[in-house]
Amino acid sequence: MAGCRFHRKTRHSVDYEPTLEFARECDAADPLGGYREQFHFPALGTREMAYFSGHSLGLQPKTVRAAVELELDEWAKYGVEGHFHSTNPWLSFHELLTPAMADLVGGKESEVVCMNSLTTNIHLLFVSFYRPTAERYKIISEAKMFPSDRYLLETQAQFHGFDPDDAIIEIAPPDGEFLIREEDILAAIEQHADELAMVFFGGVNYFTGQLFDMPKLTGAAHAAGAIAAFDLAHAAGNVPLALHDWDVDFAAWCSYKYLNSSPGNVGGIFVHERHGRRFDLPRFGGWWGHDKATRFQMQPGFQPMEGAEGWQLSNVPILGMAAMKASLELFAEAGMPALRAKSEKLTGYLEYTVDQLSAGFPDAGIGVITPRDPTQRGCQLSINCAGRERELYDEMLALGVIADFREPCIIRMAPVPLYNSFEDVHTFGRVMRELLAQG
Ligand SMILES: *Cc1c(COP(=O)(O)O)cnc(C)c1O
């Protein structure tokens, strides 16, 4: 089998071809191709669907079932003693997840912990890091952010006695455009430097797939005397991250999107080590964040642990954590550099496929709104389908392609390097051509 023909013409273009043969050659040459078999794919009849919704819910790794069953067996066998005697003692189960998770986000192990859910975690981190004063209380964030984050910012501002419309500065794309300009963010940070408490952005915007320059935003926030924080729901497991080196203050993410850990499972947090011993920071305490050495003395007087673990509240849900452990093992094995390399090629192929559709059906209004520059995106492409809207998406689904539709007219597609194939992208192109040809 001939190798996949990735001849780079220019920095951003590869010699893709529209044929099924080409897609299959790419899959045969893909060093990560074997991971696909380790996932369960939804099926239409007997045929596996082309799944592009890893940005919303990652597929189930086949190893998850045994990992969860192991804990069920241990629970049956040991009852409460499983905290100490099970194969992976529950008492310290969360520690098993930390090395792989820290590696994924570029944090030290002391800076990362898995706990709670995403929105909960950001609220908890705001308790410590959003300390507004009468002069310095504003938060710069992106317009059209994920609604949970927007509600979080509104209610945090109100909780501290501020008017959200005054406290939250949203950076919007220029009129008629989808993407936010970095220079507009930087200008706003400078303009509001004296009254800025925090810069809070999604690392990758859920709607457009735009990846922001986190090190640059962090530097600008710090220069203004503000905290730099990121919601990495769409970045963790999708793009390379180096939170420690970038000097980010804190970040949080969920594990059920690109990290395939099961619906609604526990999230992760990062707190930079310079804050890890700041016991002066206000926190909402719980026994799992209390100093391990004295936790079981059950005495009053909250003494937080050092590092990110000092923000924990509760003992962890073992069944969910077991699923996450199995999933993170696949990431650790595949490695983010290899995943990113494939991701750029695979997303490039989707981009090429959409461009072909757009050229073939110029009246269909089909086009990519995500940045064309691979350094400004992860694997997700958001596709404008202005002419057809929702019906096109429903028809795609009926023909075996799962993506995601957002009002008013955007289909969000994530070709995920861990389990998607070039043939999946080809299938999408074929289905769309059929649908668009029907008019
Ligand atoms: C998915 C997502 C959430 C979901 O929050 P949960 O608390 O896990 O329900 C929040 N914010 C962003 C940016 C997301 O993409």
119 Cα to the center of ligand 1, angstroms: 6
Query: Which stretches of the chain score pLDDT less than 70?
Result: 1-13, 387-390
Residues 24-39 have pLDDT tens digits of: 999 999 999 999 999 9
CB atoms within 10 A of CB 232: 30
Using a 6 Å cutoff on CB, does residue 252 contact ligand 1? no
Using a 6 Å cutoff on CB, does residue 200 contact ligand 1? no
Contact (Cβ atoms closer than 8 angstroms) between residue 108 and residue 102: yes
- Minimum-distance ligand 1 atom for the alpha carbon of 146: 13
Alpha-carbon distance of 319 to 281, in angstroms, equals 32
Using a 6 Å cutoff on CB, does residue 428 contact ligand 1? no
Alpha-carbon distance of 118 to 268, in angstroms, equals 7
Alpha-carbon distance of 185 to 438, in angstroms, equals 43
Using a 6 Å cutoff on CB, does residue 117 contact ligand 1? yes
124 Cα to the center of ligand 1, angstroms: 15
- Minimum-distance ligand 1 atom for the alpha carbon of 118: 7
At 389 the pLDDT is: 65
280 Cα to the center of ligand 1, angstroms: 29
Using a 6 Å cutoff on CB, does residue 249 contact ligand 1? no
Contact (Cβ atoms closer than 8 angstroms) between residue 117 and residue 266: yes
Q: Give 25's strand partners.
A: none
CA-closest residue to ligand 1 atom 14: 233
At 408 the pLDDT is: 77
Which overall architecture, per CATH, does domain 66-332 show? Answer: 3-Layer(aba) Sandwich (3.40)
* DSSP states of 356-424: HHHHH-GGG-EEE-S-SSGGGB-S-EEEEETTTTHHHHHHHHHTTEE-EEETTTEEEEB--TTT--HHH
Using a 6 Å cutoff on CB, does residue 234 contact ligand 1? yes
Token duo for residue 153: 């910012």
* Helix/strand/coil percentages in the chain, nearest 5: 45, 15, 35
CB atoms within 10 A of CB 334: 17
Contact (Cβ atoms closer than 8 angstroms) between residue 201 and residue 232: no
Using a 6 Å cutoff on CB, does residue 119 contact ligand 1? yes
Alpha-carbon distance of 106 to 240, in angstroms, equals 8
Using a 6 Å cutoff on CB, does residue 202 contact ligand 1? yes
Using a 6 Å cutoff on CB, does residue 231 contact ligand 1? yes
Topology of domain 2-60+336-437 in CATH is Aspartate Aminotransferase, domain 1 (3.90.1150)
Burial class for 11, CB neighbours closer than 10 Å (0-12, 13-18, 19+): exposed
Alpha-carbon distance of 223 to 219, in angstroms, equals 6
140 Cα to the center of ligand 1, angstroms: 18
Token duo for residue 221: 């926030």
Using a 6 Å cutoff on CB, does residue 385 contact ligand 1? no
Using a 6 Å cutoff on CB, does residue 201 contact ligand 1? no
- Read off the amino acid at residue 286: G
Residues 67-102 have pLDDT tens digits of: 999 999 999 999 999 999 999 999 999 999 999 999
Residues in the chain: 439
At 392 the pLDDT is: 80
At 7 the pLDDT is: 38
254 Cα to the center of ligand 1, angstroms: 7
At 345 the pLDDT is: 97
- The residue ranges of every structural domain in the chain are 2-60+336-437, 66-332
Residues 6+ apart with CB under 8 A from 79: none
Alpha-carbon distance of 273 to 276, in angstroms, equals 5
- Minimum-distance ligand 1 atom for the alpha carbon of 257: 1
pTM above 0.75, yes or no: yes
Q: Could you identify the residue written with the tokens 């089909």?
A: 366
117 Cα to the center of ligand 1, angstroms: 8
SS3 of residue 112 by DSSP:
strand
